[in-house]
Structures are given as structure tokens and as C-alpha cells.
């Protein structure tokens, strides 16, 4: 008996020392600190930001054809023909051209590049929302794993007391060997649960490091609570939340871009008119003295291209109808996701209250049953059922609190909440996308 108790105590001591040592060396991070790191280091978010930069550059590139095109040239040449001496020629010139009219095609292309910029910013918001969800899940998982260590240690302590009580009754001849072996197995399971919880903390740390975008692993501790916060008493305006979702806004911009494609295709039926002017000098001596200049206007119009322009108009119209249906589908999907996320959030928060009542009731039953078993008023079989129920309810209560936090994270994600989202500030769901839409960038 003494040997078994000594081994058990040594195991628990080693686990406690390992956990406390990790706690001394680990870095405590709050949720806001994790968000700040993810915004700076998450590779997926950085990649999306670079896509926005590319789209911004494309806007400038699309604006270029609408501005004057100015070129300068300088040349020198030496030539010789039969029967004459070799001679040099020097020349320099400055030329400019300006697009006057092309059926507004270039203007539509500029508008389309601006729409692409808005889409890239909305995609950035969508990526930020998904990263927030992954980061929040990782943070919650680490909180749960940290708290589970305390729960399993408490359970192991109860199992150890149960084993000592059963062993005393067994040695006194008032309990059979099956009860003793069951108690030993329960303690072994509790010790395994502690070791597993410690390993779960390690994995959860890895996950949180990854979501923050850290290049090297560092021992960290989540500084927060699993206790769920309150939710609105009534269902929010899901239609309004759907309208502000980045994916819905992106589909609306995609539809507008498809409409511009139709206008661009129609622009091919109009003539292209350009103006040009140049001035320069050329001579056989340097500096050249013979001046030359020209000013002109040109007009071009394709007459027949095998029907390709008509086919392009037909294709762009079909693409517009496709974009319209995609927008309708996205709106329906987001609205359904919001409805499901809201229901899951309500269920998860209410479940926490129910599980808390079960925990209070089970703890009271366990306290009474322990006294009854010690005085011989309750059999081992009935007592251990109550104790097993307490173990189960403790773990279930912890899981229900974590589930409520995860449901809250999924509700924010369904709304399109980015890393900049502040709970309780529904008007701050988006930062870039809604400002772009409000300023007319769409």
C-alpha cells in the first residue's frame, strides 16, 4: 500500500513540477496581443495585403492610356553607298500622342481596375476574418487545455482519496477485491488524463504560434477566461449583417465588373481617334540644324474580324448573368450561415447554464455519497457511479464553456468580423471594405 501511494505521489509531483517549470518559462499572451502579432506576421494575411498592392498598381497602369504619351529620341548613324563617301547623320526628336476617343473603352477599363482594387480589399477582409476565426479557435483551445490540467489534477486527487478509502475497507474485510481494482484503474485513468492534458497544452501552443505567424516556436500561455460573455436578448438584423459581409460585397462588385466588361466589348464597335505631334532636327553635322515637325489626327475602325466582336459581346453578357446569379447565391448562403451561427450561439450559451447546474448538483451528490460510503450506508457500485458522473460533468462543463466561446467566434466570422473587430462594436466589423463602398470606390 505504501509503495503504491509513494509511486502515485511521485508521478503527480513530477507532473506538477513539469507544469510549474513550463509556467515560469512561458510567455503569457492576451487575446489582443495575439491579434497584434497575427496582423503583423500571419503569412496568409501578408500575402493578401500584397495582392491589394498589386491591384493598386494596376489602377495606375490602367489610367496610363488616358494620359498623354510623350517620347524622346536621339540617334546617330553612319552610312555609305556605292560611288560616294561615308557620311554621318544626327537626329533628335520629341513626340507626343493623346487618345481622343475609343468608345469610352479605356475609361471602362480604368473603372474595372478600380473595381478589382475594391474586390482585393474585400478579399483581404475575408482573409482577415478567416484568420481571426483560426486564431480565436487556437486561443480557446489553449485556454481549455490549460484549464483541463487543473480539472484532471483535481479528479486525480479525488481518485487517490477514493482508492485509500476503498483499500482501508478492503483490508478490514468490508469491500471485495473488484472494488479495489476498479479504484486503482480509475486512478490510473486520472493520471493518464493529466499527462494527456499536458500534451494537449503543447499541441495547442504550437497551433497558436502557427496562427500568429511566428517563425520559431515559443512556449506561451493564453491569458484569458473561458467564461462566456452575454449575447443580445433578441436576434439582430441578419439582413443588415448579410449586406455588410465582405463576400457579399465582393460578389456585388464582381457583378459591376461584369457589367463593365459588356461596355468594354461594345466599345470595340466604335472608332479609335488619336492625336499626335512631333518636333525634331536632323543633319549630317552635330548639332543638327534642319528642323522638322508634324501634327496629325488618326482614326481607325475594324471593319470585319470574323464576328469575334459580336461573340465577345455575347460572352460578356452571359458572364454578367452568371455574376448576378453568383451574387444571389452568395447572399442566400451568407444569410443562412448567419442564421445557423446565431442559433448555435444561443444554444451554446444556454447549454453552459444547464451544465453549471448539473455540476453543482453532481458535486453535492458526490459530497453526500462519500460520507454515506464511508459510514457503510452506500455500496461501492452506487458510490462509484456518482463519482464517475462527477468526473464526466466536470469535463463536460469545461467543454461547454469552450464551445460557447467557439460559437461566439463563428458568429463573428459569419458577420465578416476581421482582426480589427471589437466585440460589442457592431459598426466596426469592417474597416477597409465599408469605407471603400461609402466613398464611392465601388
Query: What pLDDT is recorded for position 417?
Result: 93
Q: Please state the pTM of the whole predicted model.
A: 0.81
Instruction: Report the C-alpha gap between 393 and 94 in whole angstroms.
Output: 85
- Range 2-67+104-269+325-438 has CATH code 3.40.50.720: no
Query: How far is the CA of 272 from the CAs of 64, 105, 114, 201, 329, in angstroms?
Result: 16, 10, 23, 67, 39
Query: What pLDDT is recorded for position 21?
Result: 46
Which long-range CB contacts under 8 A does 4-8 form with residues at least 24 apart?
A: 4/184, 5/160, 5/164, 8/160, 8/187, 8/191
Burial letters 8-39, b for 16+ CB under 10 A, else e: beebbeebeeebeeeeeeeeebebeebbebbb
Query: What pLDDT is recorded for position 12?
Result: 52
pLDDT along the chain (442 residues), means of 10: 47 50 70 95 95 94 90 87 77 90 88 93 95 96 95 94 91 89 94 95 94 91 88 85 93 93 89 90 84 90 85 92 94 95 94 95 94 90 93 95 95 94 55 40 34
87: which residues sit within 8 A by CB, 6+ positions away?
78, 79, 80, 284
Kindly list the domain boundaries of the chain, sorted by start residue: 2-67+104-269+325-438
Amino acid at each position: 500500500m505504501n509503495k503504491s501511494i509513494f509511486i502515485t505521489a511521485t508521478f503527480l509531483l513530477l507532473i506538477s513540477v513539469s507544469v510549474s517549470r513550463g509556467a515560469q518559462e512561458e510567455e503569457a499572451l492576451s487575446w489582443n496581443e495575439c491579434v497584434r502579432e497575427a496582423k503583423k506576421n500571419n503569412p496568409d494575411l501578408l500575402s493578401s495585403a500584397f495582392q491589394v498592392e498589386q491591384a493598386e498598381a494596376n489602377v495606375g497602369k490602367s489610367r496610363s492610356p488616358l494620359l498623354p504619351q510623350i517620347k524622346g529620341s536621339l540617334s546617330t548613324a553612319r552610312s555609305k553607298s556605292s560611288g560616294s563617301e561615308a557620311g554621318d547623320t544626327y537626329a533628335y526628336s520629341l513626340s507626343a500622342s493623346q487618345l481622343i476617343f475609343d468608345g469610352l473603352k479605356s475609361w471602362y477599363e480604368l473603372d474595372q481596375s478600380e473595381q478589382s482594387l475594391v474586390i482585393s480589399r474585400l478579399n483581404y477582409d475575408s482573409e482577415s476574418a478567416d484568420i481571426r476565426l483560426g486564431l480565436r479557435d487556437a486561443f480557446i483551445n489553449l485556454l481549455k487545455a490549460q484549464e483541463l490540467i487543473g480539472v484532471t489534477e483535481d479528479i486525480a486527487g479525488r481518485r487517490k482519496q477514493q482508492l485509500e478509502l476503498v483499500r482501508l475497507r478492503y483490508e478490514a474485510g468490508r469491500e471485495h477485491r473488484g472494488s479495489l481494482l476498479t479504484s486503482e484503474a480509475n486512478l490510473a485513468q486520472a493520471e493518464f488524463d493529466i499527462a494527456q492534458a499536458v500534451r494537449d497544452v503543447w499541441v495547442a501552443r504550437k497551433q497558436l504560434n502557427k496562427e500568429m505567424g511566428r517563425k520559431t516556436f515559443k512556449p506561451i500561455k493564453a491569458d484569458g477566461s473561458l467564461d462566456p460573455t452575454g449575447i443580445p436578448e433578441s436576434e439582430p438584423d441578419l439582413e443588415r449583417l448579410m449586406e455588410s459581409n465582405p463576400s457579399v460585397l465582393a460578389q456585388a462588385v464582381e457583378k459591376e465588373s461584369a457589367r463593365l466588361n459588356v461596355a468594354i466589348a461594345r466599345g470595340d464597335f466604335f472608332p479609335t481617334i488619336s492625336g499626335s505631334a512631333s518636333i525634331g532636327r536632323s543633319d549630317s553635322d552635330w548639332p543638327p540644324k534642319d528642323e522638322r515637325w508634324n501634327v496629325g489626327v488618326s482614326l481607325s475602325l475594324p471593319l470585319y474580324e470574323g464576328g469575334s466582336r459580336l461573340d465577345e459581346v455575347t460572352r460578356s453578357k452571359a458572364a454578367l448573368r452568371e455574376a448576378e446569379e453568383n451574387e444571389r447565391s452568395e447572399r442566400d448562403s451568407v444569410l443562412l450561415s448567419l442564421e445557423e451561427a446565431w442559433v448555435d450561439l444561443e444554444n451554446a450559451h444556454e447549454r453552459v447554464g444547464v451544465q453549471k447546474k448539473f455540476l453543482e448538483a453532481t458535486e453535492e451528490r458526490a459530497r453526500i455519497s462519500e460520507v454515506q460510503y464511508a459510514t457503510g450506508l452506500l455500496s461501492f457500485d452506487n458510490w462509484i457511479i456518482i463519482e464517475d458522473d462527477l468526473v464526466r460533468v466536470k469535463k463536460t462543463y469545461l467543454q461547454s464553456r469552450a464551445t460557447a466561446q467557439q460559437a461566439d467566434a463563428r458568429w463573428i466570422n459569419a458577420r465578416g468580423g476581421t482582426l480589427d473587430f471589437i466585440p460589442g462594436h457592431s459598426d466596426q466589423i469592417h474597416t477597409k471594405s465599408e469605407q471603400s463602398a461609402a466613398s464611392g470606390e465601388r
